[in-house]
Amino acid sequence: MHGCDFRLGLQGILLYIRQGDGMVDIEVLNTSDSNVVRVRVPPLVPTMRPLLRTLLRRIRRALTHDKPLITVSISKENLLHNLRAYQEQYPAQKIAPVLKSNAYGHGLTVIASLLDTEDIAFFMVDSLYEARVLRRAGITSRIVVMGYVRPESIARSSLRDTDYAVTDIEQLRSLSETVHRPVRIHLKLDTSMHRQGILPGDLEEAIALIQMNSKLSVVGVATHLADADNADTSFTENQLSLWKESLVQLEVAFPSITYRHASATKGARFSASYPMNVLRIGVGLYGYDASFAANNLKPVLSMRSFITSLREIPRRDSVGYNASFTTQRPSRIATVPAGYYEGVDRALSNVGSLQVNGVPAPIAGRVSMNMVSLDVTDVEAARGDVVTLISRNPEDPNSVRSMARLADSTPYVLLAHIPAHLSRVVE
């Protein structure tokens, strides 16, 4: 564009801007194929460089012709089914979907977008960064940041409809001194898990510190249960009794308390016996909760790739690092472009299976960082055939639950290790 006032480039896309006649002309050039897109917008846009960069990224994604090697598929139907299951099982409590750690690997903004108009208490995240990502993505539901945030960051933050957990007395002391604008907080109580929270002996000081600063408003009281899935409920009952005692004291001091939440997925069964009106549902929302009475949850995520290479291997040849797999017969070995960086746990080496066209094929040799080899000698397979890395069917050998069992791990770990850069597609 001749005489442009602004030029911006990003990974094969050039953006030219020229202002005149009361409007702004924007020209987008895809340098790889010379395709050009032209639009006219109001003159406010050129002053908003961050918005332009976001626009440019979206245009680049729209113009790119590259297909991802791995696709993470999210079932909207299963996600909403699981939410409804908890809402029906616990009608007296509001559900707070837990979106920390990239929504347990499912995609932070993807899951939030699917649930933003649902009847929920709030979204729960771990970090201020996650809260900012949600707001930049246009998510409107209330957010509660339950992880530690530096007091000065809370004091400076202007994120709308965002509450913050107070995770220990030292943080509260700093907040009481530094906050000069209204801040809504959830007091997290340490009831014997001993990771975070206000200890019982610090509760009187905590009340005094909050009352010293009128800008601090207590809207929630929380704790976290350490042993909620144990058949012996004595430890959990002791935690909840301590939490209940502290809650009574706090409600006298702060009538503003609206949210009372102590239980996550595994502790939801205790909600009827204690004064909770919110359940923080994380892994159960995504289809994994061995303690759920109805046991009718549906896994939300599946992951697919494809065969990029096939080779014939003679008997007694080895495959992969450290020669840990040796063929016992002439074999066909398929290579798939997904390794432990992409979420195929290394502990599945030589013991796990993936599915080729829906048929299980054993992992041959070590899982590499970005590749895995499959023995497809007994499977019909061709280059380009679909490989299911993670199946939604709990009975399949490559379901999250089956792989966690083989890897001596948990669904939490396997799901959280699925990297954020992989393409998420909603089905």
Domains identified in the chain and CATH numbers: 6-63 (no CATH), 75-281 (3.20.20.10), 301-391+393-426 (2.40.37.10)
CA separation for the pair 338, 335 (Å, rounded): 9
Distances (CA, A) of 215 to 15, 156, 381: 44, 13, 65
pTM for this one? 0.85
For residue range 33-52, list pLDDT tens digits in order.
Answer: 555 556 565 655 445 556 66
Q: What is the pLDDT of residue 46?
A: 47
Q: What is the pLDDT of residue 66?
A: 75
**pLDDT per position in the chain (427 positions), as tens?**
444 544 444 455 555 556 566 566 666 655 455 555 565 656 554 455 566 666 666 666 665 667 899 999 999 999 999 999 999 999 999 999 999 999 999 999 999 999 999 999 999 999 999 999 999 999 999 999 999 999 999 999 999 999 999 999 999 999 999 999 999 999 999 999 999 999 999 999 999 999 999 999 999 999 999 999 899 999 999 999 999 999 999 999 999 999 999 999 999 999 989 999 999 999 999 999 866 555 689 999 999 999 999 999 999 999 999 999 999 999 999 999 999 999 999 999 999 999 999 999 999 999 999 999 999 999 999 999 999 999 999 999 999 999 999 999 999 999 999 999 999 999 9
Quick one: what percent of the chain has pLDDT higher than 90? 81
Pairing state of beta strands 331-336 and 309-313?
A: antiparallel
What secondary structure, in 3-state letters, does 39-97 show? EEECCCHHHCHHHHHHHHHHHHHHHCCCCCCCEEEECHHHHHHHHHHHHHHCCCCEEEE
Question: Would you name the residues annotated as active-site residues?
Answer: 100, 321
CA separation for the pair 416, 426 (Å, rounded): 18
Q: What is the pLDDT of residue 289?
A: 87
